[in-house]
């Protein structure tokens, strides 16, 4: 499979996943023009669109793409039905699109109906998991979001996290402010600062790296709990996550 990353808006990414059997899948097309330009440039004809959630910066290009490519099938959770989804997906669904196979996981938190799609090694997780961070909680609860991240964290180390925004550097700056003594976070922040200064993307990232630099995947760690003043026997890890998310919201 071949992965193509398409920049959109200020910091969004739209994804194309294609293979040698002429199957091309579009993930979260917030706008149509950059997608159509990439398809023409690569001489690709898309077969399907996957939507992770209903926000316009992930769905805004669907109508124009379907007009341009009438054979497109649009998959998404129930909350995207009025954004163009034709085939509604839910927890545990298995999708076969050409020779590309996906499993669907419900990951509520950012929105209540948010889903993620996994086709080894690629994880399309929308606005749930970011490099060194996670999405804001708009509709769900901290507890829901924490358990959603735990689902994604259970995937193999080699998983390539294809999230929808270039937030890595700001997330690392926050992580460094919480754990300034962490060499891995500091070193990776310096690498990403150089990468972004050169106009390069930091995404996709790998899950094995995220386990080390993403504080939202480390809420079970005693050192982090102590840093937050939350290392008490009665604490639950989702409450540690809730504290971190609140701190990030106000960072």
Hey, which residues are catalytic here? 53, 55, 57-58, 110, 127, 165
Q: Whats the size of the chain, residue-wise? A: 251
Please give the order of strands across the beta sheet that includes 115-119.
94-97, 100-106, 115-119, 122-126, 160-163, 205-206
Beta strands in the chain (DSSP E): 2-8, 12-18, 24-27, 48-50, 73-76, 87-88, 94-97, 100-106, 115-119, 122-126, 129-130, 133-134, 160-163, 205-206
- Structure tokens of 207? 């899950």
Which three-class secondary structure state does DSSP give residue 90? coil
Task: Determine the Cα–Cα distance for residues 97 and 130; give it in Å rounded to an integer.
Answer: 26
> CA 18 from chain center: how many Å?
19
Task: Determine the Cα–Cα distance for residues 211 and 204; give it in Å rounded to an integer.
Answer: 14
Q: Are 86 and 112 in contact (CB under 8 A)?
A: no
- Structure tokens of 69? 């490519």
- Structure tokens of 30? 């917030």
- Structure tokens of 147? 């358990």
* DSSP designation for 112: T
């Amino acid at each position: 499979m071949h992965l193509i990353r398409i920049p959109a808006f200020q910091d969004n990414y739209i994804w194309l996943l294609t293979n040698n059997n002429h199957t091309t899948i579009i993930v979260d097309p917030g706008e149509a023009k950059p997608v159509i330009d990439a398809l023409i440039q690569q001489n690709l004809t898309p077969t399907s669109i996957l939507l992770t959630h209903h926000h316009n910066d992930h769905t805004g290009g669907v109508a124009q793409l379907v007009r341009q490519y009438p054979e497109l099938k649009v998959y998404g959770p129930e909350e995207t039905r009025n954004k163009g989804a034709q085939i509604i997906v839910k927890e545990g669904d298995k999708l076969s699109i050409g020779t590309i196979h996906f499993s669907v996981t419900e990951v509520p938190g950012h929105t209540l109906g948010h889903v993620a799609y996994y086709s080894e090694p690629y994880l399309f997780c929308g606005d749930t998991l970011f490099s060194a961070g996670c999405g804001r909680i708009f509709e769900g609860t901290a507890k829901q979001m924490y358990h959603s991240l735990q689902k994604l964290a259970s995937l193999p180390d080699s998983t390539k996290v294809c999230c929808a925004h270039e937030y890595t550097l700001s997330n690392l700056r926050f992580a460094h402010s919480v754990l300034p003594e962490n060499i891995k976070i500091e070193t990776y922040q310096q690498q990403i600062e150089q990468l972004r200064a050169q106009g390069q993307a930091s995404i996709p990232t790998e899950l094995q790296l995220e386990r080390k630099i993403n504080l939202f995947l480390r809420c079970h760690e005693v050192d982090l709990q102590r840093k937050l003043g939350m290392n008490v026997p009665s604490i639950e890890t989702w409450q540690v996550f809730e504290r971190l998310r609140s701190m990030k919201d106000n960072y």
